[in-house]
């Protein structure tokens, strides 16, 4: 019978690889993204099997994976903000305000540089490495029942959780940000589990669950990204003195606001 431990071990190794790639080139937004995703994948796999794990071990692993991901959070957020603002500049080219665009992106990249240096600091990197060491230690302590039928267990769990999340999504108010954020996290956990436990379940069930979870995750992700971007842009606006630059920044912010908080529809009556 196939064991589940190698899946956890391989993902921990992937985190270490992505960490090295990030240190090699922290200027590349994809390196931050891939490292953060690798952490969230392992955390999602553990959360999916929470009931099969010793409470103490799970709590320690979950806490350290969460802490490691949070260390990268601000850098990922500024990268997403730059990406979305770049899309706005591409969509609305205007030679008359090129200098304003330039000043905004200059400010964004200066902020990114500061955040990046904080993430690369000895203190932050020491904390990050301690998190990985603790996770590795806890992983070696885990013992799974040798006779447990993982194929049956995982298949049942996937079907149950897929049904539950689809039902929740069908009744989801997309303007309710906290609930959208929660559904997105659940969709990630389901998608990661269907992907990385695929060898232990039926291929058909894995593909079906992956597709359903990815659709929900992507839809909710657009909204949650816009919500975070809007808050960051308003914060930047408090630091800008030039009225034209501030006006442009607030226009970008409003574009993001419309995504997660669309205008109310007029009553046809």
Cβ(28)–Cβ(75) below 8 Å: no
Residues 44 and 38: their CA atoms lie apart, in Å, by 10
Other CB atoms within a 10 A radius of the CB of residue 146 amount to 7
Averaged pLDDT, 194-201: 88
What is the structure's pLDDT at 269? 38
CA Rg, the chain, in Å? Answer: 21
Q: How far is CA 70 from the centre of its chain?
A: 10
Cβ(186)–Cβ(40) below 8 Å: no
What is the structure's pLDDT at 264? 52
DSSP code, position 265: P
What is the structure's pLDDT at 1? 41
Q: Residues of 13-33 as b/e, b for ≥16 C-beta within 10 angstroms?
A: ebbeebbebbeeebeebebbb
- Using CA atoms, how far residue 6 sits from 9, 33, 142, in Å, is 5, 24, 12
DSSP code, position 200: G
- Using CA atoms, how far residue 54 sits from 49, 68, 133, 259, 260, in Å, is 10, 21, 19, 41, 39
Short-list 180, 184, 187, CA closest to 158: 187
pLDDT at 267 > cutoff 60: no
pLDDT digits 0-9 by tens, 37-86 = 999 999 999 999 988 888 999 999 999 999 999 999 999 999 999 999 99
What is the structure's pLDDT at 170? 92
Residues 123 and 121: their CA atoms lie apart, in Å, by 5
Q: How far is CA 53 from the centre of its chain?
A: 24
Other CB atoms within a 10 A radius of the CB of residue 233 amount to 23
pTM (2 d.p.): 0.91
């Amino acid at each position: 019978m196939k064991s589940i431990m190698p899946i956890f071990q391989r993902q921990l190794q992937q985190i270490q690889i992505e960490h090295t790639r990030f240190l090699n080139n922290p200027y590349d937004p994809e390196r931050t993204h891939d490292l953060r995703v690798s952490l969230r994948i392992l955390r999602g796999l553990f959360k999916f099997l929470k009931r099969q794990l010793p409470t103490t071990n799970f709590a320690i692993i979950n806490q350290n994976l969460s802490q490691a991901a949070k260390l990268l959070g601000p850098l990922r957020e500024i990268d997403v903000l730059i990406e979305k603002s770049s899309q706005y500049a591409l969509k609305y080219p205007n030679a008359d305000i090129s200098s304003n665009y330039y000043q905004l992106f200059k400010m964004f990249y200066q902020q990114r540089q500061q955040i990046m240096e904080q993430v690369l600091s000895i203190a932050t990197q020491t904390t990050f490495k301690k998190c990985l060491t603790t996770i590795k230690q806890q992983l070696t302590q885990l013992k799974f029942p040798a006779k447990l039928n993982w194929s049956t267990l995982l298949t049942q769990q996937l079907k149950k959780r897929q049904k539950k999340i689809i039902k929740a999504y069908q009744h989801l108010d997309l303007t309710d940000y906290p609930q959208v954020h929660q559904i997105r996290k659940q969709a990630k956990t389901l998608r990661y589990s269907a992907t990385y436990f695929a060898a232990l379940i039926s291929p058909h069930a894995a593909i079906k669950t992956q597709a359903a979870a990815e659709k929900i995750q992507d839809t909710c992700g657009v909204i949650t990204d816009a919500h975070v971007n809007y808050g960051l842009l308003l914060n930047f606006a408090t630091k800008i003195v030039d009225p034209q630059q501030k006006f442009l920044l607030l226009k970008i912010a409003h574009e993001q606001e419309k995504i997660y908080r669309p205008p109310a529809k007029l009553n046809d009556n």
